[in-house]
A and B are shown apart, each in its own frame.
Chain A
């Protein structure tokens, strides 16, 4: 999209993305990812299993991290690798703020360290490898 010769360099910080963790997002993400584990939609059963409430599934977190990267690098960027680790769960009512930093750029790919922090800690930490859009490159 962006015709301007946008370049990326090590140390670049991505603008933060705030994700309100609503009950709707948790449930919509779980269903869109075909994940019917009760802990992602049924608060009573989640409590019975020792969780204070329903919580976001890892597939949704993965999808949000992917979105965060392509929002920034544009539709011609290609996700090559997404590796995430979950920590503090995303419970309803919380807000997750995604931040990212380019840790290396080489041979048309960038490695980006991503953190998604919520009110109780780091929900997700990860590294994403993105194939950067080349000028005139088409999908």
Chain B
């Protein structure tokens, strides 16, 4: 599904030796003697509850407790940076950064709550690097999972444990930047494979004609182009030009995986032409979530780049480009 995941910048490293280096950090402290920047306090609890939409009355009033899931928040360094992060943790991250695994994403969080946190509690914490995984390839990219386990104390008393797993990774190549550009160069759509069997179709496109094959043996129309007729087997054919009118027979909205030169989400329609055959193409000029089955559409030609033009379809009521502003693609 996700296709080949080449790794940027991680090449050239001897993987086994590198893994050994990483493994040496297992069991080493990740944070020592960390102290929460703030005592457990009402404003931070309230801001959390506002963000989460959490109206639990247990988190307000004179004997409020903090939402247990805030556990990690009390240990965060904020803009001031990480508190009490160990030299080992620092080194491990630099090692991974240096090998090209610069991106980070959290994948797992396991928290156990032993006692509630109350207003005024002072938070302290220690953490250990539990494990560093071998190299893994995920949809996001290739990298190493790092698991840490933290003990969180309130006024010196163990209040909870927090196991946290992150992936330090090099992102999978995504030439499809939202801008459709990579390293300043626009990424072009894939080229059509033109051969003897379909050359006529692309010649038609050049002249802004959507040509359908028509069997001269039995007069059945066929699309996409094929050397022979599926109805009678004849290899003799002619073409008819599509009127350009059609309806959305079916569609999908592409979100993932991103594909070079395309800017998800976008609608891919199976268009039933007025002549009765169907063609797959983009539905343009309408937000992807407003495409509907049965929607009348009309053919037009989209110039993708200096070499490529493709037939696409636009809903007939919305020929003005005004609809395009509804779903800005470049924020």
Minimum CB–CB distance for B69 against chain A, Å: 4
Q: In whole Å, how far is A89's beta carbon from the nearest beta carbon of chain B?
A: 8
* A window 70-84: CB within 8 A of B: 70-71, 75-76, 78-84
Number of interface residues of B (CB under 8 A): 49
Is B113 within 8 A of A80, CB to CB? yes
Cβ of A105: which chain B residues have Cβ within 8 Å of it? Answer: none
For chain B, residues 83 to 128, give those with C-beta under 8 angstroms from any C-beta of chain A. Answer: 102-113, 116
Complex CA–CA separation, A67 to B107 (angstroms): 20
Within the complex, what minimum Cβ distance (angstroms) separates A126 from chain B?
A: 9
The answer to whether A36 touches B264, judged by C-beta atoms less than 8 angstroms apart, is no
Residues on the A chain within 8 Å of B51, using CB: 25, 28-29, 31-33, 60, 63
> Which residues 1-52 in A have Cβ within 8 Å of B in the complex?
1, 19, 25, 28-29, 31-37, 39, 43, 47, 49-52
Q: Which of A36, A50, A64 contacts B78 (CB 8 A)?
A: A36
Residue A62 at the B interface, CB < 8 A?
yes
Which residues of the partner chain A approach B56 to less than 8 Å between Cβ atoms?
Answer: 67, 70-71, 75
Would you call B177 and A47 a contact (CB within 8 A)?
A: yes
Interface of A is mostly: mixed
- A98–B179 alpha-carbon span in the complex (Å): 33
Complex: A82 Cα to B106 Cα, angstroms:
15
Name which residue of chain A comes closest to B166, CB basis: A58
Report how far A113 CA is from B68 CA in the complex, Å: 18
Q: Which residues of B contact A67 (CB under 8 A)?
A: 52-54, 56, 67, 69
CB B113 to nearest CB in A, in angstroms, measures 6
**Could you tell me if A52 and B78 are in contact, using CB atoms closer than 8 angstroms?**
no
Q: Write the nearest CB–CB distance from B109 to chain A, whole angstroms.
A: 5
Q: Which positions 206-258 of chain B face chain A at CB distance < 8 Å?
A: 255-256, 258
Known: A63-B51, A70-B54. A81 touches B113 (CB 8 A): yes
Residue B76 lies at the interface, judged by CB distance under 8 Å to chain A: yes
- Is B58 a contact partner of A139 (Cβ separation < 8 A)? yes
B78 touches A86 (CB 8 A): no
Which residues of chain B are within 8 angstroms of A115 by Cβ–Cβ distance? none
Cα-based distance from A51 to B172 in the complex (angstroms): 10
The reply to whether A63 and B69 form a contact with Cβ atoms under 8 Å apart is yes
In the complex, B12 has a CB within 8 A of chain A: no
Give chain B residues whose Cβ lies under 8 Å from the Cβ of A60.
51-52
A120 touches B255 (CB 8 A): yes
Query: Which one of B104, B108, B256, B264 lies within 8 Å of A37 (CB-CB)?
Result: B104
**Residue in contact with A47 in the complex, picked from B58, B67, B178, CB distance below 8 Å:** B178
Q: Are A33 and B113 in contact (CB under 8 A)?
A: no
Set B48, B78, B103, B109: member contacting A58, Cβ < 8 A? B109
Residue A57 interfacial (CB < 8 Å): yes
Contact A85 B48 (CB under 8 A): no
Q: Does A65 reach chain B (CB closer than 8 Å)? A: yes
On chain B, the residues within 8 Å of A33 by CB distance are 48, 51, 70, 72-73, 76
Q: Which chain B residues (144-189) contact chain A, with CB distance < 8 Å?
A: 171-172, 174, 177-178
Interface check B284, CB cutoff 8 A: no
| A82: contacting residue among B102, B109, B174, CB under 8 A | B109
The answer, among A19, A43, A57, for a CB contact under 8 Å with B331, is A43
Inter-subunit contact A82/B76 (CB<8 Å): no
With beta carbons under 8 angstroms apart, the residue of A28, A52, A62, A78 that contacts B109 is A62
- Known pairs A75-B58, A82-B110; A28 contacts B50 (CB<8 A): yes
| Smallest CB separation, A52 vs chain B (Å) | 6
The chain B residue sitting closest to A124, CB to CB, is B109
Q: A43-B331, A79-B113, A139-B63 are in contact. List 14 more A-B contacts (CB 8 A).
A: A19-B53, A31-B51, A34-B37, A35-B73, A49-B102, A52-B264, A58-B109, A62-B111, A63-B48, A63-B52, A66-B68, A67-B56, A67-B69, A80-B113
Selected A-B contacts with CB under 8 Å, 22 pairs: A32-B48, A32-B52, A33-B73, A34-B37, A39-B105, A43-B331, A47-B177, A58-B109, A63-B67, A63-B69, A64-B52, A67-B56, A67-B69, A70-B54, A71-B56, A75-B56, A80-B112, A83-B108, A83-B110, A85-B108, A86-B108, A89-B105
Instruction: Give the A-binding residues of B (Cβ under 8 A).
Output: 37, 44, 47-48, 50-54, 56-58, 63, 65, 67-70, 72-73, 76-79, 102-113, 116, 140-141, 171-172, 174, 177-178, 255-256, 258, 264, 331
